[in-house]
């Protein structure tokens, strides 16, 4: 039996904390599907197509596939034939929300198991929201995101 996991998120933009979780989960599973959520109710800084392109360009693991999805994660899991959801936990404050989501996903699809991963220590404070805020204020984000994302943020934010 092949072990397949899904790592869902908006990834707006992808940062090194995401890449750390992807690299470490790819060592644990036969296949990892990075699912970029298409959320019609939320507009991001980057389009879904741009986020998909960024992610595909920075993923180096052969057993990682990047796709977009919309709707319920539980339905996406079924469509992918995956049972494990990978979620990163940076701080205790993340746990409350992620715990609720894990229980709801299990309610919607009883075969779904959520696995929480803690990012590498240097990324425990990192979020896409924080990266965008620092970039808006012209701070140095070069050690937080891939080089192409640095350039894209500079171009988008001025």
- CA–CA distance, 145 with 69 (Å, rounded to integer): 23
Instruction: Say whether 18 is catalytic.
Output: yes
DSSP 86: E
Q: Give the active site residue among 4, 15, 18, 132.
A: 18
128 labelled catalytic: yes
Which of the residues 56, 90, 106, 156 is marked catalytic? 90
- Cα 34 from Cα 65, distance rounded (Å): 6
Q: Rounded CA gap, 22 and 44, in Å?
A: 21
70 is catalytic: no
CA atoms within 13 A on the CB side of 151: 5
Candidates 42, 43, 93, 110; catalytic one: 42
Would residue 90 show up in a list of annotated catalytic residues for this protein? yes
C-alpha pair distances (Å), 134 with each of 15, 105, 126, 141, 149? 13, 33, 11, 7, 13
Which residues are annotated as catalytic? 18, 42, 90, 128
């Amino acid at each position: 039996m092949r072990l397949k996991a899904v790592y869902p998120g908006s990834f707006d933009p992808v940062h090194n904390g995401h890449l750390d979780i992807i690299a470490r989960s790819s060592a644990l599973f036969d296949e990892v599907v990075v699912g970029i959520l298409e959320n019609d109710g939320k507009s991001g800084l980057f389009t879904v197509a741009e986020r998909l392109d960024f992610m595909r360009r920075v993923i180096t693991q052969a057993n990682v596939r990047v796709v977009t999805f919309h709707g319920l994660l539980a339905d996406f899991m079924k469509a992918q034939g995956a049972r494990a959801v990978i979620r990163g936990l940076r701080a205790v404050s993340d746990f409350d929300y992620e715990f609720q989501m894990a229980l709801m996903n299990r309610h919607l699809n009883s075969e779904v198991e959520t696995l929480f991963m803690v990012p590498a220590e240097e990324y425990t404070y990192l979020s896409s929201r924080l990266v965008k805020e620092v970039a808006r204020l012209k701070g140095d984000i070069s050690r937080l995101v891939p080089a192409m994302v640095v350039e894209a943020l500079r171009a988008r934010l001025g």
